[in-house]
Amino acid sequence: MTTSPLSDADAVLFGNRFATREVPSRTFPEAGMTAVEAMRLVAEDLALEGDPARNLATFVTTWMEPEAQRIIADNLHRNFIDHAEYPRTAEIEQRCIRMIADLFHAPGETTGARTQGSSEAIMLGALSLKWNWRTRREAAGKPTTSPNLVFGGDVHVVWEKFCRYFDVEPRIVPLAPGKYTIGPEDVRPHVDENTIGVAAVLGTTFTGHKDDIVGINDLLIQIRQERGLDVPLHVDAASGGFVWPFLYPDSAWDFRLEQVRSINVSGHKFGLVYPGIGWLIFRETSDLAPDLVFEENYLGKTDATFTLNFSTGSAMVLAQYYNLVRYGRPGYTYIMRNMQENARVLADKLEAMGRFEVIGQDEEQLPLVAFRLAADEGYDEFDIAWQLSAERGWMVPAYTLPPDAQDVTIMRALVKETLSREHVDTLARDIEEACATLARKGGAHESERRKIVVGPGH
Ligand SMILES: *Cc1c(COP(=O)(O)O)cnc(C)c1O
């Protein structure tokens, strides 16, 4: 440990002991410190963190209005699960569920749950698929030992996680170079009487596109009519659920489609709330397997709970409600269109450089730009990501796609609310300059460096 020539007493009077000392990091502290000192210690550590405004890797919200931040700060001391003590928060959760169900065209009475994010929502939704499948099989006197779930290689890792944790066989449709989403022809061979459901993605993390949800829905209707198998469709709308209703209101992907029985969405992505908040919405109340709901008598009130977590903050539920009432349909539409417009400007600028291929900008897509080098330049996308971060602090990830498109490397820039036109222009110039630097010095193709370039999955 480095020792300071000054005494602790000097530090207490004039400054901060950790200006010259190593910070506590290994053993449980034997002594405390003043509140100011602790505050400085933590803040100084975080000064080395990446700047969220330049984090174009994340789908998660990095900015909220000051009024929303005030709601959050004022409600950090409320445990969301204490419904008896905080009935208004519980009511506000139900309002959010009803509003989002309405946004997704639920036909009538529905139910759902607030979750920590889409991952918890997907675990719960897929558990309900498994339970409902088992009930159907038991009623028909058939075995319930080998459930399977069908999805594409374009899904988030949470789907494979569910299959492993809850003992379900994953039937994964591989991608191919140039084919980054799936459709009915991919799903058809995998569906059988042990299929608990099919999962389709609205807005993949890889390129921001959607699976052919209409086509998969039609296939499942056909299978129901021809083979008597009623296979539910779950839509993973983690990102797309707050984008499509505003940018593509006439594109059907939700409960307008008959076989869509449940949908998850991350409030902390395009719902524009800070992490962690997600939502699981069922088409009808009966789509939630009743066995998964626990009637708990806790702190004096019986309460029906359907969650994997128990205690959690209520601030983000309140912040979600704030956003829903603050923006409404026109506000969300305005914000989504701004992001889309800036994404198009960035895509055009990248194309004009003559070096990049932009992926699927003319299709329905999340507000992002997915792009790759069109030819061998002597450096690759990982080099560009690295150079851009080193020179300018922009976090723009490079990653390879899932099998069988693993030879395709792409870069992806999220264009969020705070990425103004001026930022887009600057980013485009910085990418151009990063490429010019790399053309002079050449790329460095070490695998070590690639590992630290941030991946796509968040
Ligand atoms: C982000 C994402 C998830 C995981 O969501 P969290 O809210 O981070 O738990 C799942 N699926 C897709 C398609 C996603 O984009």
pLDDT tens sequence across 68-125: 999 999 999 999 999 989 999 999 999 999 999 999 999 999 999 999 999 999 999 9
Q: Atom of ligand 1 at shortest distance to CA of 202?
A: 13
By residue count, the chain amounts to 458
The tokens describing 352, both together, are 């004009």
Residue nearest to atom 2 of ligand 1 (CA): 238
CA of residue 419 relative to chain centroid, distance:
19
What ligand 1 atom has the least distance to the C-alpha of 266?
7
Q: Report which ligand 1 atom has the smallest distance to the Cα of 204.
A: 13
In the CATH scheme, what architecture does the domain 69-323 have?
A: 3-Layer(aba) Sandwich (3.40)
Tell the residue nearest (CA) to atom 14 of ligand 1.
238
- The DSSP bridge partners found for residue 151 are 172
Cβ(320)–Cβ(277) under 8 Å? yes
Q: What is the pTM of this model?
A: 0.94
Q: Which two tokens stand for residue 205?
A: 């993390």
Q: Is the dihedral of CA 47, 49, 54, 59 positive or negative?
A: negative
Residue with tokens 């042990």: 194
Domain boundaries, the chain: 8-49, 69-323, 338-449
Pairing verdict, β 169-173 and 233-236 = unpaired
The class of domain 338-449 in CATH terms is alpha beta
Task: Mark the ranges of the chain whose per-residue pLDDT is less than 50.
Answer: 1, 447-454
Q: Measuring CA to CA, how many Å separate 103 from each of 22, 96, 320?
A: 52, 10, 14
| Best residue for ligand 1 mutational test, from 118, 181, 205, 368 (most atoms within 8 Å of Cβ) | 118
pLDDT of residue 6: 65
- 132 alpha-carbon distance from chain centroid: 26
Give the DSSP letter of residue 20.
Answer: T
Could you give the CA distance from residue 221 to residue 189 in angstroms, rounded to a whole number? Answer: 15
What's the CA gap between 128 and 168, in Å, rounded? 13
* Pocket residues: Cβ below 6 A from ligand 1: 59, 117-119, 156, 158, 201, 205, 236, 238-239, 266, 278
Pocket test for ligand 1, best of 115, 122, 206, 458 (most atoms within 8 A of CB): 458
> Using CA atoms, how far apart are residues 245 and 254, in angstroms rounded to an integer?
9
Domain 69-323 and domain 338-449 have a common topology: no
Identify the pLDDT of residue 446. 57
Is 82 exposed, middle or buried (CB count within 10 Å of its CB: 0-12, 13-18, 19+)?
Answer: middle
